[in-house]
Structure 1
Amino acid sequence: MAYLGKTFKHSKDENFDAFLDSLKVPAAARAKGSSPTNSLTLNPDGTYTLDIQSPAFSSTHTFTSGVEFNEQTAAGVSKTTFTLEGDTLTQVQQFPHFSITTKREFSDSELKVTLTTSTWDGVAVRYYTAA
């Protein structure tokens, strides 16, 4: 788990605009999420913190792996669960009429984020490199 505590900077996307289209994310909101960084840390109490930062947006989640909680998002409240298995952190967000699954695959030097949603048959991928 050498990736813990490292900051990963966004480098490129595949199908990300189509993913956002499927969720009907407006253009103004899309700019907020451009060029983010991601960092995952293990806290002394055994919880984890996922920190996502971009020039106009920040998001911090402290969680226990496998434990569901209510998350307030721009799309409303979701039942969210983060599960860490080895080097893969899977986040499932269940909204009343759709779901989003975000799979983060960490290595020492890279982070690959795969995004799927129940509103779209495609797959989007975001790539990050260790800072």
Structure 2
Amino acid sequence: MAFLNKTYKFVSQENFDAFLKASGVPADKIEKTLSYTPDQKIVKDGDTYNYIVSGALGTKEIKFKSGVEFDDKLGTEQTPVKSTIVVDGNTVIQTAKGSTGVATFKREYNGDDLVVTVTLDNWDGSAKRYYKAA
């Protein structure tokens, strides 16, 4: 798990606007959400992880244990969801269950690259966000 304690900076995204539309983000909020390009970092302390997201809207920290469900809020809209994050080698998969369906954020770390693939259970597509270790 060489990705632990590394900060990953946003590089680009594909199809994220379609994901936002499918997940119910209001049209007038999509542009703001697309421009939110936070850095990401995961730190481990014993069997607890701390997922840190920081950007123009501030810093959010999520403490979690792999495979244990917790209350969370997603996006610039702070939509309440039940999340489960599973750490498996160099892959970190977050499943978020909310009122608009189940979203999955699959984070795949490969050297200095991070690819986040985003899907939604009631949407045929997928979106990707790309990051590079700082």
Give TM-score scaled by structure 2 length: 0.87
Of 105-114 and 56-65, the range deviating more from structure 2? 56-65
Give TM-score scaled by structure 1 length: 0.88
Of 24-33 and 74-83, the range deviating more from structure 2? 24-33
Gaps of 5+ in 2: none
Q: CA RMSD in A?
A: 1.8
Gaps of 5+ in 1: none
**What corresponds to 1:98 in structure 2?**
101
**What corresponds to 1:116 in structure 2?**
119
**What corresponds to 1:15 in structure 2?**
15
Q: Does 1:81 align with 2:87?
A: no
**What corresponds to 1:37 in structure 2?**
39
Q: Residue by residue, what CA displacement relative to the aligned partner does 1:56-113 show, whole Å, maximum 9, x if unpaired?
A: 2432111000011122343643221000001000000111441110000112211000
Change (3 A) 1:127 1:69: same
Q: 2: CA distance between counterparts of 1:104 and 1:91?
A: 8
Identity percentage of aligned residues:
35
Change (3 A) 1:71 1:99: same
